[in-house]
Amino acid sequence: MARFAVRWSHLESRTPGARPFGVTFREPVGGSAPGLTVDGSDLLFYEQFRAAVLAMLGIVYSEPRAEASDDVQRAWLDLLSEELPLAGLRELRAVDAQDEVRGVHHVFTAVLGGEPPAGAEGLEAEQVLDYQLLQAAVAHQTGRLLRDSHIEAITDAALRRRAWAHKVAALLHR
């Protein structure tokens, strides 16, 4: 069991700059058992989580079960899997968008499986093409943890990026 509990707020998830995840520690961390709020990236990326804890609580956080692993980030996601419902990516939809800075372009919606079905909207191309950034965006907007065991099993970063790009191409609908 994780040494922390995670709560997600739907109301906070759509607000720019919001921190929709409340994290409370089940056992004392740095002499007390405080909590903090974080966004999707700060929760899903282990080193960013550690930095958020240090910035907000003044405590150097360390998760022994993650740090004992050869792949700390993957072990961290395994721990988060105990706290967040899992989601699978069923489809990516390209949506026409327009703004004053970039003009006409596309943003994307990630359609997730599970009950009830969910989706993350307004995703930028950079987020969609980077597996971990997409994980963070999906978590932020839906409170669910996107996991793809085939992608996560690829240890070489360049090969993982290529495999993810191929998967994105297969899931993309215009």
What is residue 10's predicted lDDT score, i.e. its pLDDT?
86
The tens digit of pLDDT for each residue in 3-29 reads: 889 999 988 877 767 899 999 987 766
- Name the packing angle between helices 72-81 and 46-57 (round to 10°): 70
Section 86-105 average pLDDT = 86
Structure tokens at 130: 């980077």
Question: Mean pLDDT in the chain?
Answer: 90
Q: How confident is the model at residue 33 (pLDDT cuts 50, 70, 90)?
A: low
CA–CA dist 4, 43 (Å, integer): 12
The tens digit of pLDDT for each residue in 35-90 reads: 899 999 999 999 999 999 999 988 888 999 999 999 999 999 999 999 999 999 99
What is residue 174's predicted lDDT score, i.e. its pLDDT?
73
Residues 6+ apart with CB under 8 A from 49: 38, 42, 43, 61, 76
